[in-house]
């Protein structure tokens, strides 16, 4: 079906162009816009169909760099603008207006048109579903009911400014905003706006609105996966290193203290061997939760790997950080995990503390000194805190 669809769209573009060649300048402009819209709409389908065919393989690979969603939005906007120009052309028939509304009502995106005063002229079916409001209740009204209150003044000022100057600051561009449903809930949208002048030189605007709630949810999930440890929910090593680097630079710039603590669960392999990896995971989760509960909001807690964790304490020097480390040690020492058979698992941790030096420009050297202090804590019997020799 997609093989046929893109051919029909391209053929339609040619037909529109041919039919409007000998017409008035305005109708020719409308024809060009409609033809461009059909071509842009056909490109994603055409390239998808050609995928895998040797002749078009390189062409398809370069297509991967483009956003087909944005291209289809641009195509729809161009097509609608072309029809809108026809609806305002001299000698037009009501059939042109009907075509515009028919196309708008089968579109998968919300399409709204307003006049130069910001009054709604059309409100398609998708807009009704998206905002929970009927076209009958919206046409002739301002856009305020679907704009969050904090943005309304900005919108009104923008419409007034554009009406006076005749220039839209992002005509044809796609930008992200928030919109408002009838139930009062906000949701993220992608908005593409264009404007045109009618024969009476009155300015009108058309907006194509796409609900991007699902896309934003997926983006948030990807960010979560990229920055957090899946077992404990705290920062993973990569994100911990990024934030620690930022804090080191800030501490050097402001000449403020900063300390790093490394902690490691004692005899963790024995726990895994005796009780299994499921219990071992519970031990790791319990330690992460306990540490998080003892730290400040500005502190940075991350899992470096296995049973090894690290904490960055901004604005704390040697004495203050040693107190925090001891508090963490005592907190972990008091933890216990009760198994299904009634057995209780207790565990401890060892900690190494290193204070930021002028020569520390990255987390690496700080981690090495804290790790050396941690090794001394292990060597001195475990379940204790040791500071780096230069701290």
Which residues are designated catalytic? Answer: 307
Residue with tokens 């009502």: 105
Q: DSSP string of 50-81? A: HTT-GGGHHHHHHHTTS-HHHHHHHHHHHHHH
Alpha helices in 88-173 (DSSP H): 94-106, 125-131, 135-138, 149-165
CA 174 to chain CA centroid, Å, is: 15
Contact call for residues 310 and 234 (beta carbons, < 8 A): no
How far apart CA 258 and CA 205 sit, in angstroms, is 55
- Asked whether the CA dihedral 285, 288, 290, 296 is positive or negative, the reply is negative
Tokens of 59: 């062409």
Taking only Cα atoms into account, the Rg of the chain, rounded to an integer number of angstroms, comes to 31
How many residues would you count in the chain? 391
- Nearest CA to 43 among 89, 5, 14? 5
């Amino acid at each position: 079906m997609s093989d046929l669809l893109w051919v029909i769209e391209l053929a339609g573009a040619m037909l529109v162009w041919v039919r409007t060649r000998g017409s008035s300048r305005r109708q020719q402009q409308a024809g060009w816009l409609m033809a461009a819209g059909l071509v842009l709409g056909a490109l994603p389908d055409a390239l998808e169909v050609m995928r895998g065919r040797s002749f078009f393989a390189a062409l398809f690979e370069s297509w991967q760099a483009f956003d087909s969603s944005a291209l289809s939005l641009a195509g729809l906007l161009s097509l609608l603008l072309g029809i809108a120009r026809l609806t305002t052309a001299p000698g037009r028939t009501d059939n042109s207006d009907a075509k515009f509304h028919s196309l708008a009502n089968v579109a998968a995106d919300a399409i709204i048109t307003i006049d130069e005063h910001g009054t709604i002229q059309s409100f398609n079916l998708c807009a009704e579903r998206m905002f929970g409001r009927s076209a009958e209740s919206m046409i002739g009204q301002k856009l305020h009911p679907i704009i969050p209150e904090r943005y309304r003044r900005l919108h009104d000022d923008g419409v007034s400014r554009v009406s006076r100057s005749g220039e839209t600051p992002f005509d044809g561009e796609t930008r992200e905003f928030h919109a408002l449903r009838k139930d009062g809930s906000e949701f993220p949208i992608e908005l593409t706006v264009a404007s045109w002048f009618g024969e009476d030189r009155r300015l009108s605007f058309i907006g194509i609105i796409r609900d991007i709630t699902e896309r934003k949810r997926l983006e948030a999930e990807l960010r979560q996966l990229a920055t957090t440890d899946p077992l404990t929910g705290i920062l993973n090593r990569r994100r911990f290193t990024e934030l620690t680097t930022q804090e080191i630079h800030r501490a050097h710039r402001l000449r403020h203290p900063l300390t790093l603590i490394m902690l490691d669960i004692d005899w963790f392999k024995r726990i895994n061997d005796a009780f299994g990896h499921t219990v071992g995971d519970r031990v790791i989760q319990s330690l992460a939760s306990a540490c998080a509960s003892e730290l400040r909001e500005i502190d940075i807690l991350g899992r470096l790997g296995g049973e090894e964790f690290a904490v960055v304490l901004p604005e704390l020097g040697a004495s203050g950080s040693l107190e925090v480390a001891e508090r963490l040690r005592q907190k972990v020492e008091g933890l216990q995990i009760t198994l299904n058979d009634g057995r209780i698992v207790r565990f401890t941790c060892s900690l190494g503390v290193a204070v930021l030096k002028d020569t520390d420009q990255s987390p690496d050297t700080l981690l090495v000194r804290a790790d050396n202090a941690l090794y001394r804590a292990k060597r001195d019997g475990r379940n204790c805190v040791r500071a780096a020799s230069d701290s």
